[in-house]
Structure 1
Amino acid sequence: MRQKTSPPASEKIAQAKLLYDAGAPIAQITALLGVSAKQFLAFREKNDWPKRVPVCPRKSGPAKSAPAPVDPDALIPKLEDAVAREFARVETALEKQAPKTIEASARALATLVKTLAELKRMRREADETKEDATRPDDDRADEPPRELAELRAELARRLERLRGGGPPG
């Protein structure tokens, strides 16, 4: 007679979900949850986890066109999810004490965090540029002065702004 296995803890399920989404081998996920591959597939279907996309495209399929450009605002949540998945991989590697996996995960995590920070910085700069463009007095401020005294005064104001000591405008 076969014993019924107890359901895995919610923390392990969350970690398994991250591993599954990251493309970890099913054997690794089943070992984490303590279930067989067949039980895992039933569990995946029961909990509506999406099927994974094959890593290698099929040769007989139709030719794909170039991918559409990705919205930077949509990339940030995806990168944050990737960072969370990579943290789950690191935790799993630490439990198993697999140094090669830990090193690879650390490199991937560092790259993801740098990319995420750069993307957020670029979005922040783009937002600042949009704000600067919508200011009503910007057009007038960029016009060249008509007299030499006015030119000197404008140059002095701009130098003060660059040094951070003077009032804007």
Structure 2
Amino acid sequence: MAPKSDARSRDIVAQAKLLYDAGVTPLVEVRAMLGMSERAFSSFRKSEGWPMRPSPIKRKSTDTPPTPERQSAAPTQKEPRSLIARLEEAVEREFLRAEVALATCGAKAAPKTMETSARVLASLVRSLAELKRMNRDVAVAREEDLRVRDAFDDEPPRQLAELREELARRLERMCGDGPAE
């Protein structure tokens, strides 16, 4: 059985990795969580195989015009499922951030920080629920549309007499006067 400190340190490293990968938490906080200096964290990151995070500063490149490959790579419209996945990831990150704040500060955490975290979580959960409801409504509407189409997408008659008979049957069904087949 592993000692508790080893299990706890693995949990802390796992949480730090999640925060590091999310790219939202500043490196200073991740290093403080692990109790490492900048140089120690750099060597730890390399030894653990953590990829280098991109720079938070977005630089404009004035010397190279956008190529067709770059333009086609940028998605013009987001898929609703990917939005749901991204919102779920944001909820998980916020929960992790709140857990880390509670673990490091304990019960003496700043009330303002906890209130802000709670508001962010509530907003994310509401948005996620609304997006899932909208997807469900769209799926139901598509299903109903397909049922309506299937009702009228019969095989077309080949002969003129068959066409007249089929048209008469459909008119009777629509008006409700004749027998339904």
**C-alpha distance 74-113 of structure 1, shift in aligned 2 (>3 A):** same
- Greater shift, 28-37 or 81-90, is seen at 28-37
* Aligned-partner Cα distance in 2 for 1:46–1:8: 20
Give the total of aligned pairs: 142
**Which structure has the bigger radius of gyration?**
2
Tell me which residue corresponds to 1:105. 117
Tell me which residue corresponds to 2:50. 49
* Unaligned ranges ≥5, structure 2: 1-5, 155-170
- State the Cα deviation string for residues 73-95 of structure 1 (Å, max 9, x = none): 11212211111110111112223
> 1:39 is aligned with what amino acid?
A
**C-alpha distance 67-98 of structure 1, shift in aligned 2 (>3 A):** farther
Partner secondary structure for residue 14 of structure 1: helix
* Aligned-partner Cα distance in 1 for 2:65–2:114: 37
Tell me which residue corresponds to 1:117. 129
Tell me which residue corresponds to 2:24. 23
* Aligned-partner Cα distance in 1 for 2:65–2:58: 10
Partner secondary structure for residue 54 of structure 2: coil
More helix by share: 2
> 1:117 is aligned with what amino acid?
A
**C-alpha distance 145-126 of structure 1, shift in aligned 2 (>3 A):** same
> 1:131 is aligned with what amino acid?
E
* Aligned-partner Cα distance in 2 for 1:112–1:77: 12
* Aligned-partner Cα distance in 2 for 1:131–1:39: 57
**C-alpha distance 60-123 of structure 1, shift in aligned 2 (>3 A):** same
RMSD across aligned C-alpha pairs, in angstroms? 3.1
**C-alpha distance 22-60 of structure 1, shift in aligned 2 (>3 A):** closer
The alpha-carbon deviation at position 34 of structure 1 amounts to 1.9
User: Does 2:142 align with 1:130?
Assistant: yes
The alpha-carbon deviation at position 51 of structure 1 amounts to 2.8
> 2:78 is aligned with what amino acid?
V
* Aligned-partner Cα distance in 1 for 2:116–2:122: 10
* Aligned-partner Cα distance in 2 for 1:117–1:63: 41
Whether the 8 Å CA contact 1:82–1:112 is kept in 2: the answer is: yes
Whether the 8 Å CA contact 1:22–1:82 is kept in 2: the answer is: no
* Unaligned ranges ≥5, structure 1: 1-5, 151-169
TM-score, structure 1 normalization: 0.67
TM-score, structure 2 normalization: 0.63
Tell me which residue corresponds to 2:13. 13
> 1:137 is aligned with what amino acid?
A
Whether the 8 Å CA contact 1:132–1:138 is kept in 2: the answer is: no
Q: Which of 62, 69, 91 does residue 77 from structure 2 map onto? A: 69
